[in-house]
């Protein structure tokens, strides 16, 4: 198995890879917009015009009354005033000296008329006699022929994405259909012996195949059509057949996911080479560097093929970075850069020189600053892309950024959403997920974004002005009181309100059936046990340290004290997976993963609110939920939670 | 016909109308999100989550290798250094003292392993012996179970619009489908005896029915489904039947277009009243005030119904103002306000107090200012919505704005497009349409927006810094030279380059066959003739004045001298329609509408470019086109155009 391992990819810079690839497309005539097709206007929304649209007829195509009223000859109205009214007669010039003919809005003027008097300005006297007390100018209240569009004029240029009103204008100037760019057909081939379909049974090592769902949805949202191919195992011949079929099947582009790296089961590059040529293998971009770019031949057709990395974040970013500009080019559309926002980085980030890095971040406004916080950089963590508010690009000649640097965020959400985000930081609690959920239902204009840095980390972030609220459960061993001492110490001089979210039970989380027969804290000194701890600054860790001390134990005696997990659920998952034999956390986390639990006591979980944020609408929307009966009931239904003090002010600190 | 005319609508303020309508919906249980439906993830893009999505399984659901390499026990690697390598043996604990098992990225760790050594850090020695020169920490290069998502955690809240990566995350945590809000079904009923379908033969008074295309596309782009109803004539009984059918057909909303005003053929309010109740008839909003809001009953169902005004701009804005928030509410989604930009109004606008006005504007950046120019306010001019870059809202207590005021534009285009717009102002020429078209094809990242204010108006706008380029053809009668004198006079002290666009033939545009036997300028003094003139500041008007003077005529002698048209094509359309017997313009305009033409001479049409804009990328992209052989050929193909001097510098003025 190791013999055929090709260890290294020779990554080349992103710009160079793209230039090389597009030059090859240019040389084969593939770097240009696709041919046009004619579609009815009812189905043309969002399509891209393939050529200019010239008015075929004028609109209106006749002189139309712009009002409900009477068509008249302007000269017949001359001299009419309040004191010297003029009398008109319903009829036409054959029947009346000063004729007036009723017209509704949109109706054509009679040949002989050149103006309209509004109905409000006409006094019927009976017998068809109409009194007017003001004259009208020629063409008053008339929409002359061509007022909107004149035959032969340009209504819309080529390369325009059609909006609803455009379709109206195209219909209005005499067309029933419109020539638009054909939509590129993108074949997506999932490869990998480890892949299973969503919903299939899982065994260790099996991977739910969802990259094709993400890539397919990206292609559709960028104007392409998708040819979904059946997943194939890591077998050179089968992959080759599937790719060759797609190429002969009029695909505009083939995406092979994954097998694009250089492992023993990575066949993508070899398949492309066998059917055409590999232009690039390996790009210096993070995440996502093992990208393959090539061309596949089928008969007289040449089809570009991309080997897309398998990690979901890499796959999605490969879509954004390389697939989208291809589709834009084929649709003849400018690649519009995403909206950007400037913000202040909340912590230092290092980035390898040599690589272009796409760093996922959250962004939110606190007071008058926009704060940008890097998310985890693991390429396997699709939830980081879900949570991301945008991307900060760190170019390959940069080593990264310091905390406080101003950076540009390429937004995934609208600036409106960024501006309407309430940032909550600190200790993780399941209740925060419920809070986010209830906020989305009750007040969809706001969004709760939470970052989990532990209770102390939260208070320090509040002091630095990096969040609106912090969740904390910090026991002062000396006083037995929660949070107040720590707010005084870590947020000196700031006016802070502590609002109780819930009381919650903490204890030891153990494998089901407690196979290692753990009775309490004291057992954790046993050398055969592995403990899963929380990170420094976490309230649960402080509580654990306190309980250790009470039991007369030192951290060094606990095997796994350095194994830091970031949430209660992560601790439970570590126990569930066998990575650890015990951890400390809330009862709800143990119950969620069907684990055993030894209670060690109830603690108070508060939200710390700097008073300077107390009047912000998003903050009040969040705090209002603490008095929402349905929210309280949902929290009370979590095992080990006590809502009797929810929403009460535990302390005002200034 | 006049007897049943109901002249006045009692318009009520917009906020009041909306509050009244939504209160009635609230009272009937219709002001809340629609029920949910389950859809497969492959078809869920853009749908709105109907409830929270909790992780069903953890991701990864096992401890996975994060690298290609060897699974090991971390403790077996302790002590390995450059100078004191450690030897591992391929195998498991049963076969080896220090076992190492090859793993590829994503594969599960064996039970006994707790770390991975990257393949690059292993030196095979043969016989399955592997040398390492560094130790690894526990859990190094491992993606522990739940690293991405932990079972039971919140993945996405309710009321979230699903993006491609969201679909991946939902699949990754164990779902195959997702509960989303049902899409509202909007029935659209076109009414009017004057309506014809796009493509049908037109006679005076017939109106191409395209509001249903616009409203339908709006509804689709906002997440609704459309039930397109057959158009019906202005017949109370037929409209009533169609509305009742739609109500019993499970429509969520019925749009009746039009007949919403108070004319003799306006049945919408009466139909709604006969099937339920009218809540609002007439809203103080411009354009679009004759809106009807009501409820229609069918069995035990109540369905909201809107009477939408017939003018296309009013109809489209009624969609934006009233239909969109209804759909957002039913989808449980926040109505996200459009992006805005601040800009400087280029001219004074008056707005009636009492009405909320939605004023269409263009916006573009010139130097460091964003300039906002009102477009025509006619509600029948759909092309004004096509050309609009956004809307300026003038609230009902305001009388309008002065030129130079800073206003907020609610954008229809992205800020990127606004920033990439080249503004050309001045005299209209068909060539500018071609220039816009070629720019869109050659350089889709830029957009050309032209405003037609006549040659002098263009130079004055350049002086005020309101455009990048101005098109002008201003004859100095004294010198016989074009444009230079006027640039000196109207742009004193500015450095300006005059670049020739084309030579073009001007002359008299006459009805086909010249029925009034017009031989030249002198005939325009005949009292039986009506002339169509151009607006003040137009080069064609100056040329006409010059020719009048040469012919010994005064403006007062020309019947129709005050009839001002804004483009060559508008002049031709006036002649074509019989509104005028003669007008002056270019040969191309006469040819386009198949009219007669008496040539009066060739003039030079230049682009004036203030040198301060000469280096702007959009401006150079436009000027590059003057040397593009295909563009030159397209202009040369227009009748009466001479491109021999195209792109040459006619003068440098400073």
Could B143 and A310 be called an inter-chain contact, meaning their C-beta atoms sit closer than 8 Å?
A: no
Do B348 and B487 have their domain in common? Answer: no
Q: In whole angstroms, what separates CA B179 from the centre of its chain?
A: 32
Write out the residue range of the structural domain in which residue B405 sits.
Answer: 340-413
Using a CB-CB cut-off of 8 Å, the residues of chain A touching B213 are 41-42, 164, 167-168, 171
- Average the pLDDT over B181-208 and give the result: 95
Give A114's contacts in chain B (Cβ within 8 Å): 579
The domain total for chain B is 5
Question: Is residue B145 predicted with pLDDT exceeding 90?
Answer: no
Helices (H) and strands (E) in chain B, counts: 17, 38
Mean pLDDT of B552-576: 89
Residues A346 and A305 in one domain: no
CA B415 to chain centroid: 12
Q: What is the tens place of the pLDDT at every residue in B375-425?
A: 877 888 999 999 999 999 999 999 999 999 999 999 999 888 899 999 999
- B165:A316 CB<8 A: yes
* Phi-psi group of B426: left, alpha or beta (phi > 0 → left; psi -120 to 50 → alpha; rest → beta): left
Strand, helix or coil for residue B22: helix
> What mean pLDDT is reported for chain B?
92
Query: How far does the CA of residue A485 sit from the closest CA of chain B (Å)?
Result: 31
- Asked whether residue A162 is domain-assigned, the answer is yes
Q: What is the CA radius of gyration of chain A?
A: 35
Q: Are B626 and B606 in contact (CB under 8 A)?
A: no
For residues B533-562, average pLDDT: 91
- Whose structure tokens read 């070899």? A270
Q: From A588, which residue of chain B is nearest by alpha-carbon distance? A: B152
Q: Do B42 and A169 touch (CB under 8 A)?
A: no
Q: Is the pLDDT reported for residue B649 higher than 90?
A: yes
Kindly indicate the confidence band of residue B104, based on its pLDDT and cuts at 50, 70 and 90: confident
Most A CBs within 10 A among B109, B213, B449, hence the mutation to make, goes to B213
Query: Is B131 found in the same domain as B254?
Result: no
Minimal-distance CA residue of chain B relative to A329: B444
Residue A327: phi and psi, rounded to 5, are: -65, -45
Chosen domain end from A304, A330, A356: A330
Per CB-CB distance under 8 Å, the chain A contacts of B114 are 579
Statement: residue B146 has pLDDT above 90: no
Alpha carbon distances (Å) from A273 to A24, A267, A278, A305, B650:
15, 10, 5, 11, 57
**Residue A544, min C-alpha distance to chain B (Å):** 22
Residues of B in contact with A310 (CB under 8 A): 105-106
The three-class DSSP label of residue A85 is coil
- Condensed to tens digits (0 to 9), the pLDDT of residues B312-364 reads 999 999 999 999 999 999 999 888 788 999 999 988 999 888 899 999 999 99
Q: Are residues B465 and B522 in the same domain?
A: yes
Partner-chain contact A334 B175, CB within 8 Å: no
Pair (A479, A616) in one structural domain: yes
pLDDT at B2 over 60: no
Return the pLDDT at A9.
Answer: 66
Strands (E), A375-523: 390-394, 400-401, 406-411, 421-426, 447-452, 469-472, 496-510
Substitution target in A36, A89, A124, A157 with the highest count of B β-carbons within 10 Å is A157
Looking at the fold, whether B466 and B557 belong to one and the same domain comes out as yes
Q: Is the pLDDT of residue B215 over 90?
A: yes
Distance from CA of B45 to the nearest CA of A (A): 6
> How confident is residue B555, by pLDDT bands cut at 50, 70 and 90?
very high
Instruction: Specify if A265 maps to a domain.
Output: yes
Is B593 in contact with A119 (Cβ distance < 8 A)?
A: no
Check residue B406 and give its pLDDT.
Answer: 96
Question: What distance in Å separates residue A111's CA from the closest CA in chain B?
Answer: 9
Percent of chain B surpassing pLDDT 90: 77
Say which CATH number the domain at A510 has. Answer: 3.40.190.290
Same domain, B308 and B281: yes
Verify that A483 and A534 share a domain, yes or no.
Answer: yes
Using a CB-CB cut-off of 8 Å, the residues of chain A touching B68 are 5, 261, 263
Q: Which range, of A391-400, B527-536, B562-571, averages the lowest pLDDT? A: B562-571
Asked if the structure places residue A335 within a domain, the reply is no
Taking residue B398's Cβ as centre, other Cβ atoms within 10 Å add up to 15
H or E segment to which residue B372 belongs? strand B369-374
- Name the closest residue on chain B to residue A121, using Cα atoms: B7
In a domain, B117, yes or no: yes
Evaluate whether residue B308 is within a structural domain: yes
Final residue of a domain: which of A129, A164, A181? A181
Q: Is B550 helix (H, G, I), strand (E, B) or coil?
A: helix
In a domain, A237, yes or no: yes
Tell me, yes or no, whether A255 and A368 share the same domain.
Answer: no
DSSP H helical segments within A53-96, as ranges? none
- Residue among A181, A333, A156, A54 at smallest CA distance from B448: A156
Which positions in chain B touch A436 (Cβ < 8 Å)? 154, 157
Which chain A residues touch B8 with a CB distance below 8 Å?
A: 120
Q: What is the CATH number of the domain that holds A46?
A: 3.90.105.10
Looking from the CA of B348 toward its CB, the CA atoms found within 13 Å total 3
| Cβ neighbours of A19 (radius 10 Å) | 11
Query: Is residue B335 in a domain?
Result: no
**Higher-scoring residue by pLDDT: A309, B480:** A309
Token couple for A587: 């009862």
CB atoms within 10 A of CB A244: 18
Output the domain CATH number for residue A378. 2.40.340.10
pLDDT of residue A8: 54
Torsion angle (degrees, nearest 10) of CA B132, B137, B143, B148? -150
What are the tokens at B608? 């004036």
For residue B474, the model assigns a pLDDT of: 93
Cross-chain CB nearest to A152 (options B61, B149, B592): B592
- Chain B CB contacts of A331 under 8 Å are none
Do B500 and B598 belong to one domain?
yes
Q: What's the length of chain B?
A: 654
Note whether residue B203 is domain-resident.
Answer: yes
For residue A196, give how far its alpha carbon lies from the nearest alpha carbon of chain B (Å).
11
CB neighbour list of residue B12: distance below 8 Å, 6 or more residues apart: B20, B280, B282, B283, B284
Residue in chain B closest to A118 (alpha carbons) equals B7
Alpha carbon distance A433, A486 (integer Å): 25
Query: The domain that contains B223 carries what CATH number?
Result: 3.40.980.10
Q: Which portions of chain A are predicted below pLDDT 70?
A: 1-9, 263
Phi, psi of A171 (to 5 degrees): -65, -40
- For residues A71 and A28, membership in a common domain is answered with no
CB contact under 8 A, B383 and A155: yes
Mutation for A interface: B68, B168, B415, most A CBs within 10 A:
B168
* Residue of chain B minimizing CA distance to A50: B441
Using a CB-CB distance cutoff of 8 angstroms, which residues of chain B are in contact with residue A58? 573, 576
A504 and A637 part of one domain: yes
Mutate: best of B164, B290, B563, B639, partner A, most A CBs <10 A: B164
Q: How far is B584 from chain A (nearest CA, A)?
A: 16
Peptide bond into A60 cis (omega under 30): yes
């Amino acid at each position: 198995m190791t013999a055929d391992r090709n260890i290294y990819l020779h990554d080349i810079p992103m710009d160079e890879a793209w230039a090389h690839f597009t030059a090859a497309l240019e040389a084969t005539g593939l770097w240009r917009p696709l041919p046009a097709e004619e579609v009815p206007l009812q189905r043309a929304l969002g399509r891209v015009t393939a050529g200019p649209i010239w008015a075929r007829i004028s609109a209106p195509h006749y002189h139309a009354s712009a009002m409900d009223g009477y068509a008249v000859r302007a000269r017949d109205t001359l001299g009419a005033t309040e004191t010297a009214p003029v009398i008109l007669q319903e009829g036409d010039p054959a029947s009346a000296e000063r004729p007036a003919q009723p017209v509704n809005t949109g109706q054509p003027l009679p040949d002989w008329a050149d103006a309209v008097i509004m109905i409000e300005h006409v006094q019927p006297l009976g017998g068809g006699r109409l009194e007017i007390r003001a004259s009208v100018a020629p063409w008053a209240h008339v929409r002359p022929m061509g007022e909107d569009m004149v035959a032969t004029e340009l209504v819309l240029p080529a390369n325009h994405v059609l909006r609803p009103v455009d379709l109206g204008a195209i219909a209005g100037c005499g067309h029933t259909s419109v020539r638009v760019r054909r939509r590129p057909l993108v074949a997506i081939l999932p490869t990998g012996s480890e892949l299973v379909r969503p919903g299939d049974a899982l065994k260790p090592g099996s991977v739910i195949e969802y990259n094709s769902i993400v890539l397919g949805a990206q292609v559709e949202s960028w104007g392409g059509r998708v040819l979904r191919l059946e997943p194939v195992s890591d077998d050179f011949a089968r992959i080759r057949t599937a790719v060759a079929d797609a190429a002969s099947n009029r695909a505009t582009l083939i995406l092979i996911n994954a097998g694009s790296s250089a492992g023993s089961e990575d066949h993508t590059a070899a398949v492309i080479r066998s059917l055409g040529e590999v232009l690039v293998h390996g790009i210096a971009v993070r995440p996502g560097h093992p990208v393959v770019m090539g061309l596949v031949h089928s008969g007289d057709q040449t089809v570009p093929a991309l080997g897309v990395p398998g990690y979901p974040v890499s796959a999605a970013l490969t879509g954004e970075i390389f697939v989208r500009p291809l589709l834009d080019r084929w649709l003849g559309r400018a690649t519009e850069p995403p909206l950007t926002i400037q913000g202040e980085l909340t912590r230092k980030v290092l980035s390898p020189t040599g690589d272009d890095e796409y760093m996922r971040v959250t962004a939110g406004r606190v007071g008058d600053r926009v704060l940008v916080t890097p998310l985890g950089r693991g390429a396997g963590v699709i939830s980081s892309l879900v949570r991301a508010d945008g991307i900060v690009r760190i170019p390959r000649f940069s080593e990264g950024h310091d905390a406080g640097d101003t950076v540009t965020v390429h937004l995934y959400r609208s600036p409106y959403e960024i501006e309407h985000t309430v940032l909550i930081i600190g200790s993780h609690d399941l209740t925060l997920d419920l809070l986010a959920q209830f906020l989305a239902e009750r007040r969809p204009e706001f969004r709760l974004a939470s970052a989990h840095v532990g209770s102390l980390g939260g208070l320090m972030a509040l002091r630095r002005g990096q969040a609106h609220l912090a969740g904390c459960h910090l026991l002062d061993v000396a006083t037995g009181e929660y949070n107040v001492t720590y707010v005084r110490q870590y947020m000196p001089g700031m006016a802070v309100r502590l609002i109780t979210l819930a009381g919650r039970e903490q204890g030891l989380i153990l494998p089901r059936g407690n196979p290692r027969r753990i009775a309490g804290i004291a057992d954790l000194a046993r050398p055969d046990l592995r403990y899963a701890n929380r990170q420094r600054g976490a309230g649960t860790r402080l509580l654990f340290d306190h309980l250790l001390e009470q039991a007369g134990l030192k951290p060094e005696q606990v095997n796994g004290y350095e194994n830091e997990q970031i949430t209660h659920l992560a601790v439970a998952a570590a126990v569930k997976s066998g990575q650890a034999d015990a951890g400390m956390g809330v009862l709800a986390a143990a119950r969620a993963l069907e684990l055993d639990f030894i209670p060690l006591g109830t603690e108070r979980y508060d939200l710390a609110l700097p008073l300077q944020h107390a009047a912000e609408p998003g903050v009040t929307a969040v705090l209002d939920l603490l008095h929402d009966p349905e929210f309280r009931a949902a929290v009370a239904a979590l095992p080990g939670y006590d809502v009797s003090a929810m929403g009460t002010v535990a302390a005002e600190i200034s």
